[in-house]
Amino acid sequence: MKSLLARWLISAVALYLTALLGNALGIDIVVKGALSALLAVALLAVVNALIRPLLVALTLPLNCLTLGLLTFVINALMFWLVGVIGIPGFKVHGFLAALFGSVVMGVISGLANSLIGPKEN
């Protein structure tokens, strides 16, 4: 349970850092406060668990043709969907912002999660 909470907090911090980096580069991702980051990460986990597998399965032939590059688009769509749903304090303005956010957040949270060790079963 501690590992799950640690990974949730790491993902929230990664989302906040992604928004800071994006805003510094002129990419419009808005995260206002820790609570909105925590809620956005929780909703992103739900969306990635429920909707993403269906999209990946439906687009499998096209994903094979693009050698897996379509997965970046699917991840960006999930990130954008969470930004559009309407969590107070979290907004993603445009597909390119979602693409940037999904890639950068994935890299930051992946690196940080590797520091705390393997997942518990």
Indicate the length of the chain as a whole number: 121
1 has pLDDT over 90:
no
Average pLDDT, the chain: 92
How much is the pTM? 0.89
Quick: pLDDT tens for 45-71.
999 999 999 999 999 999 999 999 999
Residue 6 to residue 13: CA distance in whole angstroms: 11
Residue 37 to residue 43: CA distance in whole angstroms: 10
Quick: pLDDT tens for 92-112.
999 999 999 999 999 999 999
